[in-house]
Structure 1
Amino acid sequence: MPTLTKLYTMQEASEHNTKDDCWVVIDGKVYDVTTYLDEHPGGDDVFIEVTGKDAADEFEDAGHSKSARELMETFCIGELDLSSPAIPELEIVKKKQPTDLAQKLMDTTMQYWAVPVSVVGISVVVGFLYLRLFMH
């Protein structure tokens, strides 16, 4: 009788991301490496950094030995459910902001147009009064 394989979503696997509860996904398999963190020659932080994604590239880049690969299988708790979506990305909504100084200055000037218009208007009136009073 075939063994039933437990399926996990990437969301489920990513929720186990601490030193006290750490799962990693490598090549579509889910591993609970919590009990191995202190023994891992590369340290526990390498596991914590790769939670929430398939860490196959990082695993292969480290050049693990055959015995390391065999040991890894003892921590396998299931497979990644490929029919479920990956971790949903948060929609980041931010107010559109000008990116360069000229645009910021233009926007600020447009927002406060009354100040420069008032300065120009007062200057014109003062100039006109000056000419009328002192030129006659």
Structure 2
Amino acid sequence: MTQKLVILPIQTDRDNTPFENAHARTVAAAEANGFSIVEPDDGGATAIIVVRMLDSAIIDQTLAANPAVSWVQLPFAGVESFLPVARQYPEVSFTSAKGTFAPPVAEHALALTLALLRHLPERIRATSWGSSYGTTLNGAKVLIVGA
């Protein structure tokens, strides 16, 4: 039996947005793995993939229309706004992108730390070089936790 997948938001809400490409990749991956793509009101969907932020009521409506759904994939780490819907459907597994953004966030935090050590915000606004100041890491012991 072919699994039926709903991709939210619906096509007309994705057209001409940065999420149009994400949708195309999601469709290709789903079809390559034996899923057929159906509309939210199909009634026979078994899974839902959300490709961008949307009102949790849309997921609620889609779940109500498709009682066989057993899995909902959310595209972000913060899922607090979807907890009320998840509690209404305890038989459905909700998964998120938790951990996906950890490496770039850690790299960005390190870059910002180094920028602040050298007082880059002040230096960007300055009209002359002025005296040399800031903290250097030259010769310092630095510990970076994580990888």
TM bucket by the smaller chain? under 0.3
| Relative contact order higher in (CA < 8 Å, ≥ 6 apart) | 1
Between structure 1 and structure 2, the one with the greater Rg is: 1
